[in-house]
Amino acid sequence: MYLATINLKLKIMTHTYSITGMICTGCAGHIKDQIERHPDVTQVETL
């Protein structure tokens, strides 16, 4: 599961996304990298 903290017009919002079926750490890392590329995302955590 990933947590993405998004700053939107000076408001901080936390969204939790449940991504299932990831058995490959490379694939999970790719998803994390893609979320981090969004300009409004300041932090991504793996739970």
Q: What percent of the chain has pLDDT over 90?
A: 2
pLDDT in tens, 6-25: 666 666 777 887 877 878 88
Q: What percent of the chain has pLDDT over 70?
A: 77
Cα 7 to Cα 21: distance, rounded to the nearest angstrom: 28
Mean pLDDT, the chain, rounded, equals 78
Q: What would the two tokens of residue 44 be?
A: 């991504």
Q: Do 11 and 23 meet the contact criterion of CB atoms below 8 Å apart? A: no
User: How many CA atoms lie within 13 Å of 21's alpha carbon, on the beta-carbon side?
Assistant: 0
Cα 46 to Cα 8: distance, rounded to the nearest angstrom: 22
Q: What would the two tokens of residue 20 be?
A: 């299932």
